Amino acid sequence: MPLIWCSISGHGYGHAAQVVPVLNALARLVPDLKALLRTSVPSGFFEPRLTIPWQLSPAQQDIGCIQNGPLTIDVAGTWTAHRALHDEWEKKIDAEAALIRQACPTLVLSDVSHLSIAAGAAAGIPTIGLCSLSWDLVLEPFVDPAEPDQASIIRQIREAYAKADCFLRVAPGLAVTAFRQVRDVGPIAEPSEPLTATLRQAVGAMPSEKVILVGFGGIALKTPPFEHMEAMHGFRFLFDGPVPAGFSRVSSLSTVGLPFKHILASVDLVLTKPGYGTTVESVALGIPVVYVRRYNFADEQSLVDYLHRHGRSAELSLDAFYQGEWEPAIRQALAESPVTPPPPLSGAHDAANILHTYF
């Protein structure tokens, strides 16, 4: 049974959302394909999405950014965590490479851990990067010239990336330069069929009410303005987290009884940050998006541009978000029309065709 070793960043769920459709597409080309998922993403993400046999090997594969919730990056904490990761760096590469050799995969696929790429190369296994970003570009704006170890960390990341056989740059993505060979693939998403009637009944929505998903990816939002949400007549809200008692207009996703992918396909609007998975899937489904920007995350602008070019969207400032002043942006996004139709979701097929050549 051919095995693919998949290293998946646990920085949110966007990386896993890119890898899963590629594996599903690759399985149609490689009979009996099995995946070993080396990641901190929980198994519950993969169970309703991944259609091939898989085994979870829980492990943190990279840092990304340390965040105080989904909207604030802890820059000092990010560098502290990267220093810890890069301490005894060669020993960590050797340890990961030993595990890869033991598993004996045909291919290592990384989205987009530099540790796993260096380890795959050290193990002598063909190693491919896949992502819409790279961590060197994410960290670069946070470099303090007075801290020379930060530049050293970025240099080590780029040296590791350069060991990959190829990098598959997923659209919309950054101008990644650390890899020796870059091949472009289309957007990646696997939208689900909507279960609109079931969802609306579950949240008690009246025919005239809009159902809005408030979800910020795999990094929990702890303090939405519940009182303001409750006061917004004409809307029902689904929140990706616990909801205190006494809020009839706000329901927790956990009470609905539907997988997240069906919920996303069934709402009238999504309120989120610009993250890859939710952005591309919402655009493909024609669902309006109200987004809250961080303004210091590298791939944010490319996703915002994609939203405004191919989707229906409006920006909500961070202050307006926390103050519950959502309604103007919601109504603006609902009234928008796409400037141009979205491109086909060809990325999974594009990537699978390239990966197939290694089997």
Residue of 21, 118, 68, 86 whose CA lies nearest to 355: 21
Structure-block tokens of residue 234? 């004409």
Q: Are both 153 and 236 inside the same structural domain?
A: no
Query: 161: part of which helix (H) or strand (E)?
Result: helix 148-161
The number of domains in the chain is 2
Mean pLDDT value of segment 57-82: 96
Is it the case that residue 217 has pLDDT exceeding 90?
no
Band of residue 218 on the pLDDT scale cut at 50, 70, 90: confident
pLDDT tens, residue by residue, 333-350: 999 999 999 999 999 999
Whole-prediction pTM: 0.96
Q: Are both 154 and 13 inside the same structural domain?
A: yes
> What does the alpha-carbon distance between residue 353 and residue 358 come to, in Å, rounded to a whole number?
10
What pLDDT score does 223 carry? 83
Q: Are both 248 and 125 inside the same structural domain?
A: no
121 located within any domain = yes
What pLDDT score does 128 carry? 99
For residue 293, the domain's CATH number is 3.40.50.2000
Q: Half-sphere exposure (CA, 13 Å, Cβ side) for 216?
A: 19
Structural domain boundaries enclosing 249: 196-335
Query: 271: part of which helix (H) or strand (E)?
Result: strand 269-272
Q: Are both 16 and 92 inside the same structural domain?
A: yes
Q: Half-sphere exposure (CA, 13 Å, Cβ side) for 285?
A: 27
Angstrom CA distances, 290 to 134, 185, 229, 321, 329, stand at 26, 27, 15, 10, 7
pLDDT tens, residue by residue, 19-48: 999 999 999 999 999 999 999 999 999 999
Structure-block tokens of residue 57? 């090997």
Size (the chain), residues: 359
User: CB of 314 within 8 A of CB of 308?
Assistant: no
pLDDT tens, residue by residue, 168-181: 999 999 999 999 99
